[in-house]
Structure 1
Amino acid sequence: MEKEMELNDLMKGEIFTSKQSVIINGKTINLDAETGTIQLRDENDKPIALSGFTHYKKTDTNENRPIVFAFNGGPLQASFWLHIGILGPKRVVTNDPFHTNPASYKVVNNEFSILDKADLVLIDPIGTGFSKPIGESKFEDFWGVDQDIRSIGLFIEQFLARTEKYNAPKYILGESYGTLRSAGVTKYLQDRGVVMNGVIMIGAVLEMHNLLFGPGNDICYLIHFPTYAATAWYHNKVKDKGESLESFLNDVRKFTENEYAPALFKGDQLTDTERNTVAQKLADYSGVSKEYWLKANFRVSNSEFFQELLRDTGLTVGRLDSRYTGVNENLLSQFALTDPAGDAILPPIIGAFKDYLYNDLSAGKHLTYTPMAATRPNFKWDWRHSGNIVWNADLAVSTLPDLTSAMKRNPNLKVLILNGYYDVATVFYGVEYSINHMGLDAELKKNIIMKYYESGHTLYVHEPSRPKIKNDIDEFIDQTSK
């Protein structure tokens, strides 16, 4: 009987509380913080998981403050990136765009946090952080596009009830794969009567198949090219840098739409003169030789580009942030063997966050925090999505139809998308392409706000971008919470 009671208690989750504070614009904001797990129930109130989270709310206030639910991507990663990178009361200092010295890492007050504007809930999907299945559930019940959307949607609904925030202004904030998730979760919740005031996307992708360089998909080459050009511009490998990065990229967009796209469409129907003209322009904009583009038949994947751009200097460039460079481990290799940006950014983010989690937030040291589900045995993601299946075949990986439907059914829904010019993980021209194919009328399309930064996938490691991110998110919450 005692063991059964003990098991039942464990299935309810464990929450650890602490007092935190953050100074923003010279004003101290005191916070009640809780971290740990709460029991997640299915639609019939059957316990299915322990959901990990961290929650910050302003101390001693009756104000019905907005609430932001935030998560990272992967799939499948915990929310430590956003937590100690830009949203929480503390942030880790990194040596952008270079490697940060090993521990001890410096953690400082985060004057760019959103906690002066809203309460914050950082969500760790099942299999990450402290989150795990319970009862009859298994990890695979949560590891998939639709399974993940459902579990995050259930968590948000149940958390709103727990905190009595159903009538507060509500926001979803996702990064990377979390943006694809956020589109699905927004529609999932809206279909159940839970309407968001706004959706914030950092490093957005809504059509995953366009990032994967699949056979026969020329769109992926087109949407990556402006980011190749931005990368070459940064590393001084272009023929003419123009007046600014923005003006340079406007020219690149025009070339991509008016010359590069038709060339790919024509295939072997191009004349030799046309092929040479296009190849030369590809070289001038990208910093990769005309001969390379011709050998590649105008189709260069991101990993090939990382390896080729600075090959003559013995370096390779980053995927998460192409401002970063690293040692090219094999100068004969066609594909990059590592991501210098990930190698540089991940260790200080994880190291500093775990120290903050177990010490400042007082999380139980008997609990293992899992940053990424991919480190678990037998991790496998189910890429099927109900909105993409035709003839019983999954034709794409896209939640663009989810977001389109949600916006058309709720014309008050606003979307803020923050893009890094040097992000080669989720390229800015890709989400531009997606938005331009949503079929929104001009008035409704105004509900999508695009912002750009001279940074990469983790926008917030770039010091000049942090105040701009803060200002853009603040303005968005102010405008949509009234």
Structure 2
Amino acid sequence: MRLTRRALTGGLTLGLATTSLAVGRAWSAEPLAPEPAVIRGEAKAGGRTVAYRAVAAETVLPGPDGAPEATLFSTAYFAEGEDAAARPVTFFFNGGPGAATIDLREGLAPVHTRNAAGRGFRLADNPDTLIDASDLVFVDPGGIGYSRFLKPGVAARYWGVDEDARAVADFIAIWLKANGREASPKYLVGESYAGIRVGMVAERMARLPEPVRFDGVVLVSPSTGTRGAKDLAAAADPAVRALPSQAATALYYGKSAHAGAEPAVLAEAARGWAEGDYARALAKGETISPALSAKVARELSGYLGLPEAQILAADLRIPMDRFIRELLAEREARIGLSDARAHAPYFVTDVQRPPYDDPSTSPYTLTYNLTEAVEHLYRQVFGYRPLGPYVRLSYEANGGWNHEVEGGPRAMPLVFKELMAADPDLRVSLMLGCYDLNIPYAGPLNEYLAADLPSDRFAHRLFEAGHSIFSDPVGRRQASADLRTFVQAG
């Protein structure tokens, strides 16, 4: 169908592209959850055309007394005309904690929002969707997105490491049974904090009386441990771990002494030096000689693009908050944490509340309000009638998150090591961006390598992208192809 041009309240103009969606609207006054809304369409993906059905719905979760307590909102995309039992299903989660699963849906759903000419947005078919290889389920955690609490005072049962894992595991179990997908190959994809979420969920579901096992887990720029978890890798110094990503960033801005190098290649060279000579120099502390300090400062200056004198004055450590402000200090601009290739003037970023002071977030990269665009997609295109607003990021959830874990802190690489030992079919893939200064890639890479996961079932790849790999046009295309191969290999 053709979506015509229209205006939202407040005068935002939408420039909408032609898509192949057939819209079916259905809702009721049901007090617990709106009736699911369904659309149908076609997508070109993986070299073929796939007819699909998409369902926006809230799944009601019971409390300890069995009474309805909360809903988790999800958007599920099903390929039509295929054997559902044999077809993979993949569950996606963004992080935060407290963030809706919006970046991954935008990156991999058959239709996503895009910048329009001038201001506003358009809906466009997504050439990088994974619908040809797997059914897709994008899930928002408790109190986020359109997920809601049905009783006062229950947020604490959802906002925490263990609490979140319980709710998500319950959702998956309910969803699989309701859709008759218990026998389907199953995958989890978690980005950022969801690197913890999917590990805790996989572990929890493997321990059920009737275990639910996953064929594969994909970790995108992941957090690697709960609060207090011990570092597995020897080179755990933050300055050492940050250097490879900072080196790629300085190269991007033409400030590196290694002009002409490939970003990922330079980043890996910097990682080798950082974990060797640099780490040993930092370990000397105050006993380091002036000659060695000068030598290390010269090397660092070549990688970081900052003056040697500045590095020496900082005792050979440039904290990340200084690096993002000082690399482009002559322009009076700071660079992005989520994607270091983005930058904006201080006078723009300094008046914004984190994380929106980051020039790589959507207020800087999009010509429209992403929350309003998502609300349009669900309310107008799907015809969904939510009973509350769309919460893209909950500061309340993030600030109130319970980071304590029953049994003590958990290192996710060791969690997956145990799961892979118990299940010889489980595979794990690690996707990292070299321009990610939020979770510099050397951290999760080193932690997972140190865990010594089975080499035939563990893979990792470094992309020329930031933290949200599937938000980057080139990174999305490459990572989507890798994800397709990963699922099809199972």
TM-score of the pair, normalised by structure 2? 0.85
Partner residue in 1 for 2:442: 429
Alpha-carbon separation, structure 2, partners of 1:81 and 1:181: 16
C-alpha displacement of 1:317: 0.6
How far apart are the structure 1 equivalents of 2:248 and 2:390?
37
* Residue of structure 2 in register with 1:468 after alignment: 478
Gap change, CA 1:430 and 1:169, over 3 Å in 2: same
* Change in CA separation of 1:29 and 1:176 when aligned onto 2, cut-off 3 Å: same
* Aligned amino acid, residue 438 of structure 1: A
Which residue does the alignment assign to 1:287? Answer: 305
Q: For 2:29 and 2:399, locate their aligned partners in 1 and report how far apart those are by CA, in whole Å.
A: 27
Within the alignment, does 1:152 sit opposite 2:142 as a pair? no
Counterparts of 1:17-416 in structure 2, within 5 Å, are: 17-25=38-46, 27-42=48-63, 45-64=66-85, 65-84=87-106, 86-94=107-115, 103-135=119-151, 138-192=154-208, 193-207=211-225, 219-241=237-259, 243-329=261-347, 338-342=357-361, 343-345=363-365, 348-364=369-385, 366-374=387-395, 379-389=399-409, 398-416=411-429
Assess, with a 3 A threshold, how the Cα gap between structure 1 residues 412 and 336 changes in structure 2: closer, same or farther. closer
Q: Return the alpha-carbon distance in structure 2 between the equivalents of residues 226 and 273 of structure 1.
A: 24
Higher helix proportion: 1
Deviations along 1:199-240, whole A, 9 cap, x unmatched?
0122222136699xxxxx962221111101110011111112
Q: Is the 8 A contact 1:42 1:154 kept in 2?
A: no
* Alpha-carbon distance in 2 for matches of 1:155, 1:332: 40
Amino acid at match of 1:82: L
Structure 1 stretches (4+) deviating beyond 4 angstroms? Answer: 42-46, 208-211, 330-333
Name which of structure 1's ranges 254-263 and 343-352 shifts more when overlaid on structure 2. Answer: 343-352
Change (3 A) 1:292 1:411: farther
CA distance in 1, matches of 2:98, 2:29: 28
2:13 corresponds to 1:11:
no
- Deviation, structure 1 residue 195: 0.7
Distance (whole Å) between structure 1 residues aligned to residue 251 and residue 377 of structure 2:
38
Residues in 2 aligned to 1:223 and 1:63: alpha-carbon distance in whole angstroms? 43
Q: In 2, distance between residues paired with 1:225 and 1:209?
A: 23
How far apart, CA to CA, are the structure 2 residues paired with 1:350 and 1:135?
25
How much identity, in percent, do the aligned residues show?
Answer: 24
RMSD: 2.9
Partner-residue secondary structure (3-state), 1:386: coil
What is the letter of the counterpart of residue 279 of structure 1? A
Equivalent pair of 2:46/2:132 in contact (CA under 8 Å): no
Give the superposition deviation at 1:332. 12
Aligned-residue offset at 1:263: 1.6
| Equivalent pairs, count | 452
Matches of 2:417 and 2:142, distance apart in 1: 27
Structure 1, unaligned stretches of length 5 or more?
1-6, 95-99, 212-216, 390-396
Q: Give TM-score, length-normalised by structure 1.
A: 0.86
Distance 2:185 2:66 in 1: 26
- Post-superposition shift, 1:8? 11
Instruction: For 1:251 and 1:219, locate their aligned partners in 2 and report how far apart those are by CA, in whole Å.
Output: 17
Pairwise CA distance, 1:137: 5.6
Partner Cα distance (2:255, 2:408) in 1: 40
Distance 1:78 1:170 in 2: 21
Which whole-Å deviations, capped at 9, do the CAs of 1:297-333 have from their partners, x for residues lacking one?
2232222110011101222111110011110239999
CA distance in 2, matches of 1:38, 1:136: 18
Distance 2:386 2:216 in 1: 36
CA deviation string 1:101-132 (max 9, x = no partner):
76421221011101111111110100101112
Change (3 A) 1:263 1:46: farther
- Following TM superposition, by how much is the alpha carbon of 1:45 offset from its aligned partner in structure 2, in angstroms? 4.3
